[in-house]
Amino acid sequence: MVSPGHFAAFAALVFVMVVVPGPSVLFTISRALTVGRRDALLTVVGNAAGAYTQVVAVAFGLGVLVRTSATVFTVIKLAGAAYLVYLGVQAIRHRRRLGETLAAAVRTTPGRTLRVLRDGFAVGFTNPKTIVFFAAVLPQFVDYPAGRVQVQILLLGICLPVIAVLSDTVWALTAGAARDWFARSPKRLELVGGTGGLVMIGLGAGIALTGRKD
């Protein structure tokens, strides 16, 4: 099984990676500004689930494919980039509805909740920053002679969603508080919607242009 030393070392490395803002953090902030604190927190949960799905995929072979195949890496990267651009365009298109949304009571249906979780999951699962990290770094902390390699990878991988939820929640709450100030003016809200949409589009474009570091 995973030794305490290996687990602590990997957790420290994950912490350093998570606290440096990347696609997931910027997406969470954009969601907090455009649709509010609640949806941002749901995004954090969906994002963490998507990231851990990457861990499962690495444990069962995707890590090798991503590490060795430029095609697989490109497909994952472009899928995530395209989805972010789509969400950014939607935020810009519906920026004038922010005032109505904020003024209305929260009456979110289960379908709406699942859609927000799905968006976060999609961004988390297609985040090239974490998939490359897991594929290239996580196996180095596995004790192969101890056996049960897949179980070790799954246990080590728990570090990321736990640390990410804690860190991203802080970002979501901070951005949500800033949104409350913007909410005092319809013009400010439109600015928030447009800016948040542009951030997501820019983030998607940046991911699309990200190359492999090998």
Encode pLDDT of 198-211 as tens digits.
776 876 777 677 65
Encode pLDDT of 110-138 as tens digits.
447 888 899 899 888 887 767 767 776 77
Encode pLDDT of 9-53 as tens digits.
888 878 877 776 667 777 787 788 777 788 889 999 999 999 999
Q: Evaluate if residue 6 carries a pLDDT over 60.
A: yes
- b or e along 49-85 (b: 16 or more beta carbons within 10 Å of the residue's beta carbon)? bbbbbbbebbbeebbeebbeeeebbeebbeebbebbb
Reported pTM: 0.66
**Contacts of residue 54, Cβ cutoff 8 Å, sequence gap at least 6:** 62, 124, 125, 127, 130, 131, 134, 157
C-alpha closest to that of 36 among 180, 195, 194, 188: 180
pLDDT value of residue 80? 63
Instruction: Match 């800033």 to its residue by tokens.
Output: 178
Encode pLDDT of 68-103 as tens digits.
566 766 776 677 677 667 767 876 776 665 555 444
Average pLDDT over residues 180-187: 64
Q: Evaluate if residue 190 carries a pLDDT over 50.
A: yes
- For the beta carbon of residue 140, count every other beta carbon within 10 angstroms: 10
C-alpha closest to that of 152 among 160, 141, 137: 141
Mean pLDDT (the chain) is: 75
Q: Evaluate if residue 185 carries a pLDDT over 70.
A: no
- For the beta carbon of residue 13, count every other beta carbon within 10 angstroms: 16
pLDDT value of residue 42? 92
**What SS3 class is residue 153?**
helix
DSSP state at residue 137: T
DSSP state at residue 20: S
